[in-house]
A and B are shown apart, each in its own frame.
Chain A
Amino acid sequence: MKILLVDDEEELAGTLAERLRIRGIDAGWAISAEKAMQLLETETFDLAVLDVKMPKVDGLKLKQQIQSKNPAMRFIFVTGHGSSGDFETGASEVGAEYYLVKPLNIDELIAKIKEALKR
C-alpha cells in the first residue's frame, strides 16, 4: 500500500507523509501536479490524497491526468474550503472516495484511506 500526497504547501505535504510513514504507511509527496506526474513515472501508488485548490493544475484536473495513466487509482480529496455537510455530495460529484476538510485529523485520514482501499 503506497499513498501519494499532493498539496501545494510543501510543509503540509512533507509533514503529513512523514506522519503516515511513522504509522507504517508508505507515502510519497509532491507540491504540484507536474511533480506528482513525474513521481508517478518512477513509482506506483494505490491511492492519491489530493488538495482541491492548487495553482496551475488543480486537484480535479490532476485526478483526470492520473486516472488516464492508472485507472485503478483511488482518490481522497482534501480542501480548505467548505464544511462537513457538503462533502458527501461533493465527493461523489468529482468521483472521489472521500472529501476531507483541512486541518486533517491523522487518525481519520488513515481510517478513510483504509476504507477507500477496501472498496
Chain B
Amino acid sequence: MSYRSMLRPAFWDHADVAAGPYKHLFNFRRMWKSAVLLTAVVALAPLLFMAAADYNVSQKAIEADIHYQTARLVSNTRRSISFFLSEHKSALNFIDKDNTYHALSDPQRLAVLLDNLKKGFGGFTDLGVIDAGGRQHTYVGPYELAGINYSGQDWFQDLKESGVHISEVFLGFRQKPHLLVAVKHDLPDGTFYVLRASIDTQKFNDLLGEVEVSGQGDIFLVNAEGALQTPSRFFGNTLERFPLDVPAYAEKTRVTETHLQAEPLIIGYAYIQETPFILMAVKKKTELMRPWNETRGKLIVFLLVSITLIGCVVLGVSTYLVNQIFDADRRRVATLHRVEYANKMASLGRLSAGVAHEINNPLAIINEKAGLMKDVFTLQHRYAEDPQLLALVDSILSSVERCARITRRLLSFARHSDAKPQVLEIGEVIHEVLGFLGKEAEYRSIGISVDVAPQTPRIHGDRGRLQEIFLNLINNALAALDDGGRLEIGVRPAEDSFICVSVADTGCGIPAADRNRIFEPFFSTKTERGGTGLGLSITYGLVQGLGGRISVESEVGKGTEFKVFLPHQMKIDREDPNENPAGG
C-alpha cells in the first residue's frame, strides 16, 4: 500500500456513489473541499488581515517616529547653531556699541577687545574695522590683513543694505575655512564703519560633531549652492559638493526621503534664518528600520508556523468529520439494504406460503380422489386384476407426494418471521436449503455431498435464520463454482458446546487481499453482475445474532471453505433488524 493511498481518507473514492436505489446522499469529496475551504478562509483571513494591517500600521508608525526624531534633532541643532551665531553677532554688536569709532580704530584697544572676545566666547580669530570705502584700516589677528579693501566684494555691498552680515564658509586670503560676521555702524555724518570678525569654523564643526545622529547618520551645514560648510562623514570635507540637490526653502524644519545610489535616505533640513546656512541631517533608513525588520522577520516566521498549524488542524478536523458522516451514511445505506432484504424475504415467505396453501387444497383433493380410486381397486377386488390402472393411480399418488414435498418446503421457508426457537437437526435444515438449490447444481453437474457426523447433537435455534445463513453460503459457493465443480458440506461437533458447519467449494477462491474484507458491507467483486456486496455481511450479522461465529479459508484457484460455528443453544434476538416487520 503506497503512502498516498494510506493518506487518502476512506470517503475519497465515494465522491459520486450513484448506483443503486440507496445511493449516498452526499458528495463527500465536495463536502470535504467546502469544509476545508470555509474553515481555512474563516480561520486564516482574519489572521492575514490583522497581520497585514499591523504590518502597515507599525511600519507607518516607525517611519513617522523616525521622521519626528529627525525633525527634532534638526530643530534642536538649528537652535544651537542659531544661538552660536547670534551670540557671536551680539558680542560684536556689544563691542560696537560699547566703543567709539575712535576707540575701535586703536589697534591696541582692538587687540584687547579681541582677546576679551576669545576668552568670553571663543571662536573669534581676528577683528577688523572697515571704513565706508571698504578699506580695513584697523586689524588685529594672526594675518597681515590691515589695509585690504573689501569694497568690491558682494558681502560688503549686502552689508551696506542689511546692516548685519554672516558669510558662508570660505577659504579667504588665508586659505583656511572660516566665516565672517560683520556689523555696520551708521555715523551721524551719514557715513558708516563696519566691525568685522572672523570666526574659526572649528568651533562650528565641534558643535555639530557632538551631535549624536542615529542610523549611521550625519549632520552638517550646506549653503544654497550645495557646498559643504562643515565636514561630513559621508560627503567629504568643507566646501566639497554635496551630491544631492539642496532642498527648496522652507521656513520650518522639514523631513524628506530620497535615494542615493539605491540607498534609501531620510533627510531632515532647516534653513537657518539670516544666515546662508542650511542644516542637514542625513540618516540611512535601512539602519533605522533594522530592529523593526528583525522583529518583522520573527513575526513572519510565527505567521507561517501559525498558518501551517491552522492548515493541518483544518485538514485533520475536516477529514475526521467528513469520515464520520461517511461512516454514518454507510451504516444508513447498509441498514436500508438490510431492511429491504428482510422485506424481500418476508414477501417471498408470504408469497410462497400463499402459493403452497392454494396448491395444497386441490392437491389434497387429487390425493384423496386418487386414494379412493386405489382403495376401490385394492379393497373391492373389482379392478384388482388390472395392474395397469393400479400403476396409473400409484403414479398419480407419487406425483402428489412430490408436489406435497415442494409445498412443505415452501411453507417451511415461509416461516422466517416466526423466529421460534425449536430443536433442530442441522442436517435437515441443510437438506431443506439444498431442496431449493439442488436443481441448479444438478443442471450444472455440480456434485454436492452432505456429511453429518453421527454424534452431532440436535441444536436449539431458529430454523428461518439458519436457512437464510446456509442459503447465502451455498448460493455464494455455487456462484464461485464452475460447472462440474464440487460442493462439500460437513457438519460435526466442535468444542465448547458448538457445532461446526463447513461449506467448501472447489471454486475460484478469494485473493488474500480481499479475504479480510468479504464480511464488510458493500464489499463485492460481483458488482457488475448485480451483487450488492451485502450477502456475506448479512450472513455474518445473522451468525453473530445467533451467538455464533464465521470464518473463511481460501486458496486462489483451489477453493474456499466457510466454517460456521453455532452454539447448541442459540440466542434468539427478536429485535434483530432482519426481523420481518410485517409479521406472519
Residues of A within 8 A of B (CB): 9, 11-12, 15-16, 18-19, 22-23, 53, 80-86, 89, 101-104, 106
Contact = CB atoms under 8 A, between A and B. Distances in A.
B163 to A, nearest CB: 140
B463 A102 contact: no
B408 A15 contact: no
B372 interface: yes
Interface of B: 353, 356-357, 360-361, 363-369, 371-372, 375-376, 379-380, 400-401, 403-404, 407-409, 411-412, 415, 418, 420, 422, 424, 463
B361 A83 contact: no
Interface centre among A53, A81, A84, A102 (most CB of B within 10 A): A102
B368 A80 contact: no
Nearest to B409: A83
B361 A80 contact: yes
A83 B411 contact: yes
B368 A11 contact: yes
B367 A103 contact: yes
B353 A81 contact: yes
Nearest to B412: A83
B365 A12 contact: yes
B379 A22 contact: yes
B388 to A, nearest CB: 22
Nearest to B428: A85
Contact of A19 (B366, B368, B404): B368
Contacts of A80: 356-357, 360-361, 364, 407
B369 A11 contact: yes
B468 to A, nearest CB: 16
Given A83-B411, A103-B404, A15 B379 contact: no
B412 A103 contact: no
Contacts of A83: 408-409, 411-412, 415
6 contacts: A12-B368, A83-B409, A84-B408, A103-B366, A103-B401, A106-B375
Contacts of B411: 81-83
Contacts of B364: 9, 12, 80, 102-104
Contact of A102 (B360, B375, B424): B360
A85 B367 contact: no
Given A82-B411, A102-B360, A102-B363, 4 more contacts: A9-B361, A103-B401, A103-B403, A106-B371
A39 to B, nearest CB: 20
Nearest to B362: A9
